Amino acid sequence: MNLRRQLLLVSLLALLLPWAGCEFIRETESALRAGQQQMLAGTARAMANSMAQYVEEYPARLAEPKASEQLFLHTLQSAPQIDGYFDDWQLPLSAQRTLSGPDGPVRFTIASHGASVFLFVEVSDRQAVYAKGETLVLDDGPRYADRVSLINSSPPYLDELYVFAAEAPGPIISYKRYSNGFKPEETIAAFWQDIPGGYRLEARIPSSLLGTNLGIVVSNTDDVTEPATRVASFSGGVPGPLVRSATELEAIASGLIDPGTRVLLTDAAGWRIATAGALSAATTKASKSAGWSFRIYDLLFESGRDAFSAEPDPSGRERQAYVSAALNGREMPAWFRSDESGRAIIAVAAPIIDGGHVIGALILQQGTDAILSLTNRNLSRLINLTLIVTLLVAGSLIAYASWLSRRIRHLSVAAEDALENETLQAALPSALAEDEIGDLSRSFSYVLRQVGDYNAYLRSLASKLSHELRTPLAIVTSSLENLEHEALNESSAAYTARAREGADRLRRILSAMSEASRVEELMHHVEQESFDLRAVLESTTEAYKDVYTERNFEFTSSSDSAPAVGSPELLIQMLDKLIDNAVDFSQPGDTIRIALSVQADANLLSVFNPGLPLPERMRKQMFDSMVSVRTRDNTRHLGLGLYIAKLIAEGHNGTIEADDVDGGAMFTIRLPRQDSR
């Protein structure tokens, strides 16, 4: 990982600041919410005690099966048009009650507006059977029909039946049952609409016609000669009491609550009998203008139940856990927050108790506008500040890392160039800086100077040793020659011959050591001449065939001639070194290939020898003086062959390179052509 990325990761530590701030805001929000919740619980408890004084307004407790069968009378904001459509009722679809019919679900809703009660029924029916003539409202005649019946009663005195049956889609006449039969009820308006898979009924009924109990029966038949199947909203013979709003309780509750607070009253079964007040809309408006902050708020802070759960249940019966706890006699708080808008609501449900019995529940709800506004304002300020600080820190660290990495990269490139170009005495970048990089640059410069001095010593070592050892070697050689003319026994003659072989070997070593110095000196004084490089290489290759009879030599050229300028003798000497190296690293019978490629600006000479690949650790040093890469034989080499080849190539303004190829190694020499020099 580079320095820039490391410092970028370090800059992420700046996020500890917003984390600490968020933890503080979280604790503040929790403390404020707990305080508001305690205050709301005390208020709810006091209001529940006040509402317990109006016990006559609460319906009597019913057993659970009967309570579930009760119908809830919704309240409409405006009167819908009687046309068989539900979209103008301004109620959610979840406000509809659902029953299981023989052909599918039966959905219905009852609501009031002004002095009227409105009925909407949607029936799943595979085949609608219409009533005709005298059997319009009778189930015991020779013909049967689909119909909707409204059971209206006020036990023990009132027991009425209203029947809605259609002869055809459109406005229909409703009928009321009397002791002497069914008669049209002119005050009721009804509309029958066919839909795919069933039908709809919509009706408007004067409130004065209805009693305390109400039930719905749907009769469905598929054949005019078969009795209808009945689906009822109640079991038994009498429907349950109709759940209506208690206007007196609503009026009393409205006078007890503060603005921005909503109270819901339920009976013992959880049916909502009164609603007063409204939650403030300020929270919702604020959330629209700062939605992004609420999304971050949602990620950072405790998540409550969805705020929609705090709304009055569309079915009319409150069944939330905290309400159920209150109906069981236990006060319970709850809080809700919308993940989309950030709207938060604190609610408390308190039981309403009379004579030791729970007769209902009081639900008090209040928006957390003040808490949310404070939290959101602090959160927005913290986020903005953190964003700016983090960007500044990250930008500064990235800029600083870029500056440092650029200095280090320049130092690295300069050191590599100095080693490759042998400019070891050159000054490196940042040498005058007073920081750690400056110290590193000065250390590199010192090391390079030491390496340069050592290289200079190594380059002159061969000539110095050759010069210093020639005189003692000449003395030893002459002494051995004189000794050979003396009468020696067999043992002394063997020792003398062995010493003579050692002296000859030492003479060859000195000659090789002085060869590099001579070549380097010759390159400065060589007389340039024009010649055909192809002809020189071709004749030289033929000579190699005679010298190295155990190897095969192959010469190829891309052109009939290759004009060159320089010293053919030195180039042959360079080729000798490469061929000698190729012979050492190949096996008897191997083919050594010499190729010449004539290009527009240079002649490329390549020597391929089969054998082991080049040692990876010595690739950059194999052309240096006193470096040997021999690994297969026990012969000691000074490592001057490739160094001499490099001197000759560079003396002709060329280059020499070595690389692995399939089956061996390839040495490539690039020599500028005559017309490009």
What CATH number did the domain enclosing 516 receive? 1.20.58
Evaluate whether residue 490 is within a structural domain.
Answer: yes
Are 669 and 599 in a shared domain? yes
pLDDT attached to residue 412:
85
Are 572 and 514 in a shared domain? no
Tell me the three state secondary structure of residue 579: helix
pLDDT attached to residue 222:
85
Number of domains in the chain: 4
- Which residues span the domain enclosing 263? 13-61+245-377
Contact (CB, 8 A) for 552 and 590? yes
Given 351, 377, 403, which residue is the final one in a domain? 377
pLDDT attached to residue 116:
96
Given 353, 377, 401, which residue is the final one in a domain? 377
At position 501, the amino acid (one-letter code) is: E
Are 41 and 76 in a shared domain? no
pLDDT attached to residue 133:
62
pLDDT attached to residue 284:
42
Alpha-carbon span 31 to 199, nearest angstrom: 55
Alpha-carbon span 313 to 271, nearest angstrom: 10
Own/partner pairs, 576-582, CB within 8 angstroms, 24+ separation = 577/641, 577/642, 577/644, 577/645, 578/607, 578/645, 578/667, 579/544, 579/548, 579/607, 580/641, 581/609, 581/641, 581/642, 581/667, 582/607, 582/608, 582/609, 582/611
> Which residue ranges in the chain fall short of pLDDT 70?
1-8, 11, 14-15, 17-18, 21-22, 25-26, 29, 133-143, 281-308, 338-343, 369-383, 421-425, 458-467, 470, 505, 508-518, 520-522, 524, 617-621, 625-639, 674-677
What CATH number did the domain enclosing 655 receive? 3.30.565.10
pLDDT attached to residue 467:
64
Distance of CA 554 to CAs 516, 581, 658, 669, Å?
Answer: 28, 16, 19, 17
pLDDT attached to residue 47:
93
Q: Which of 375, 199, 413, 186 is nearest to 298 (CA)?
A: 375
pLDDT attached to residue 193:
95
pLDDT attached to residue 509:
67
Are 357 and 448 in a shared domain? no
Are 536 and 670 in a shared domain? yes
pLDDT attached to residue 413:
84
Whole-model pTM? 0.54
Alpha-carbon span 418 to 425, nearest angstrom: 8
For β-strands 563-566 and 529-532, DSSP reports them as antiparallel
Evaluate whether residue 202 is within a structural domain.
Answer: yes
Q: Kindly report whether the peptide bond that precedes residue 239 is cis, defined as omega within 30 degrees of 0.
A: no
Evaluate whether residue 6 is within a structural domain.
Answer: no
